[in-house]
Amino acid sequence: MARRKLIAGNWKMNGSLAALAELDTIATAAAAAPNVDVAIAVPATLIAPAHARVPSLAIGAEDVHEADSGAHTGCVSASMVREAGAAFTIVGHSERRGDQHETSHDAYMKSAAAHRQGLTVILCVGETQAERDAGRAERVVQAQIEKSLPDDAHADWLTLAYEPRWAIGTGWTPSMEDIAAMHAIARAKLRQMIGDTALDMRILYGGSLTGANAAEILALENVDGALVGGASLTADKFVPIIEAAKAQST
């Protein structure tokens, strides 16, 4: 089944008002690839100015709180980022699971909160190096999907991202066989949970993806795009990934 490719960038705790100039070229590349969806998640402080600068580009948040409002000092709700101009949010990113000790239940609650406020969601899952070395990668990812996926999950508003945690920002990339296998496992688990509608849900790959390896990874079955970290910070590195997706979609 042909699913429209999505290339999503995640700036993480990087960027500034001056850095938003990179979005001009990225937006131009996105417009030249009408068969590919392009999105950029930026720090909360940059959502409003990024949306104002490139309204044609899908701008998103890197995380939201599970509550709609309340006494949660330092947190940002889904309604707040939507009001600022966000169209989507990332939840369950491996760095939040690792650094902030977030659980799959947290990702479940955040996904539901984002959906309530009209945001689309990129839900992340992925194993650590220790889990892979122990032969538990498949079971870990299946369990994360089972515990993170909202009850009403649908391809219309939710995208899954498989990101092996040991490959993020390290320059290490799994073999093509391993990526294909894990995406197939994720697809099968989704289908078990939500039926044939899982065939419409996009599954992105994330983890040291660059312009150099994008074409090979994006050509794999069940790889419907990419969640890109460091390479999304500059147009020079991000645009080749968009162009690789465009070539796969023609």
Q: What is the CATH number of the domain that holds 122?
A: 3.20.20.70
20 within domain boundaries:
no
Q: 129 vs 25, which has greater pLDDT?
A: 25
Token reading at 82: 């939507």
Q: What is the pLDDT of residue 2?
A: 80
Q: What is the pLDDT of residue 171?
A: 74
Express as a percent the part of the chain with pLDDT over 70.
100
pLDDT at 77 over 70: yes
pLDDT at 1 over 70: no
pLDDT, average across residues 149-175: 90
Q: What is the pLDDT of residue 142?
A: 98
Average pLDDT of the chain is 96
219 within domain boundaries:
yes
159 within domain boundaries:
yes
Q: Of 243, 235, 228, 233, give the one whose Cα is nearest residue 9.
A: 228
Looking at the DSSP assignment, which residues form a beta bridge with residue 38?
Answer: 7
pLDDT at 202 over 90: yes
pLDDT at 73 over 60: yes
CA distances from 77 to 49, 56, 66, 123, 171 (A): 18, 23, 7, 16, 33
pLDDT tier, 168 (very low <50, low <70, confident <90, very high otherwise): confident
Q: What is the pLDDT of residue 166?
A: 82
d(CA 217, CA 200): 19
What's the whole-model pTM score? 0.97
Q: What angle do CA 152, 91, 177 make, to 5 degrees?
A: 90
Active-site annotation holds for 154: no
168 within domain boundaries:
yes
Q: What is the pLDDT of residue 172?
A: 80
108 within domain boundaries:
yes
Active-site annotation holds for 163: yes
What is the length of the chain? 250
| Overall domain count for the chain | 1
22 within domain boundaries:
no
195 within domain boundaries:
yes
43 within domain boundaries:
no
Q: Which of 95, 163, 183, 243 is labelled catalytic?
A: 163
Q: Which of 93, 127, 131, 183 is labelled catalytic?
A: 93
For residue 78, give its domain range: 61-67+74-82+98-224
| Other beta carbons less than 10 A from residue 215's beta carbon | 15
Question: Checking phi first, is residue 73 left (phi over 0); if not, alpha (psi -120 to 50) or beta?
Answer: beta
